[in-house]
Amino acid sequence: MFGVAVARLDQVTEAEKARYESLYCGLCRTLKERYGQAPRAALSYDLAFLAMLRGSLDEGPEETGTERCASHPFEGRPYVRNAAMPYAADLSVAFAYHKCLDDMADDASLAARGGRRVLAGPYERACSRIPDACRAIEEAMDAIRAIEEDPSSAPDDAADAFGGLLGTLFAREGGFWAPHLDRLGRATGRVVYLMDAAVDLPEDERSGSYNPFTGRGIEPEALRRLLAAEAHEMACAFQVLPLERDAHLLESVVYSGIWQKFNAVYSDASSDQKDAEDAQ
């Protein structure tokens, strides 16, 4: 994923910050146990968001503890793990592997080739654990690449494809809440894809890389309004879920965290308040 679904840490308490980092460490620990040391590089806050969301919805028991690791060898770091983290770890590996394939197709970079070799074995294990999810990722990534290479495709075709993928992944084994998780996943996928495209737009226009917004003459404020409509749908889907555990942290992702990369690129000092208002 793209580093979009990240908590807005300047809008949460110190205790919530510590909780967020503990959940992130819990996902990192789960990645190590399931796939070894190297695939921990696949760790992302986006999939920590999914694990936190599903943990809040399920309200199942959690494992807590303290562990030293390669990143923090001298002092133990607290971690929290819930029942959704194995799935989030498997998805982390799958998305990281396909990101390497995508980067190889774009520019044949040596880093992407190296990452693919490192992740090939872990990805095989992920496929054996969540074959349906990995198949959905493969099909969606193939479809997105075809859309991006087709000059006749509509601007948001790829966003629809990525939204459909996240809808499937969010809803997997969601029981009663599966339809609502599917709606949230679809909205989140569109937000993530389009927000990432908006952030990359200046560079993509210089390099000539595919971007659904390239050549459309969209001013930053119009771009922000378009994205606000997508964020509003994400917020509406989120509000249906009966979340209590970590609710404020999750809200900080949905209502303002998703805008952090956009605001960093477009530097609109007035955006923060407007983003929160548009999302709700």
List per-residue pLDDT tens for the chain, 280 residues long.
Answer: 578 999 999 999 999 999 999 999 999 999 999 999 888 888 999 999 999 999 999 999 999 999 887 777 778 899 999 999 999 999 999 999 998 888 787 776 777 788 889 999 999 999 999 999 999 999 999 999 999 999 888 889 999 999 999 999 999 999 999 999 999 999 999 999 999 999 999 999 998 889 999 988 899 999 999 999 999 999 999 999 999 999 999 999 999 999 999 999 998 544 554 555 455 5
Contact 62/55 with Cβ under 8 angstroms?
yes
**Domains annotated on the chain, with CATH:** 9-59+83-279 (1.10.600.10)
Burial of 117 (0-12, 13-18, 19+ CB in 10 A): exposed
- C-alpha span between 143 and 139 (Å, rounded): 6
> How many angstroms separate the CA atoms of 92 and 87, rounded?
9
Q: Is there a contact between 68 and 106 (Cβ–Cβ < 8 Å)?
A: no
Give one word for 108, left, alpha or beta, with left for phi > 0 and alpha for psi -120 to 50: left
Q: What is the pLDDT of residue 273?
A: 46
Two tokens at 59? Answer: 């309200």
CB 7 within 8 A of CB 252: yes
CA distance 118 to 172: 27
Q: What is residue 277's predicted lDDT score, i.e. its pLDDT?
A: 45
Q: What is the pLDDT, as a whole number, of residue 39? A: 85
Question: Of 124, 183, 194, 196, nearest to 157 (Cα)?
Answer: 194
- Residue of 155, 236, 161, 254 lying closest to 197 (CA atoms): 155
Q: What is the pLDDT, as a whole number, of residue 41?
A: 86
> Rounded CA gap, 178 and 172, in Å?
7
pLDDT at position 268, please? Answer: 56
- Using CA atoms, how far apart are residues 170 and 174, in angstroms rounded to an integer? 8
* Calpha distance 171→177 (Å, rounded): 8
Give CA–CA dist 49/181, Å, rounded: 13
Burial class (CB within 10 angstroms; exposed 0-12, middle 13-18, buried 19+) of 268: middle
Contact 81, 33 (CB under 8 A): no
> Sign of torsion, CA 146 6 233 180?
positive
Say what the pTM is: 0.91
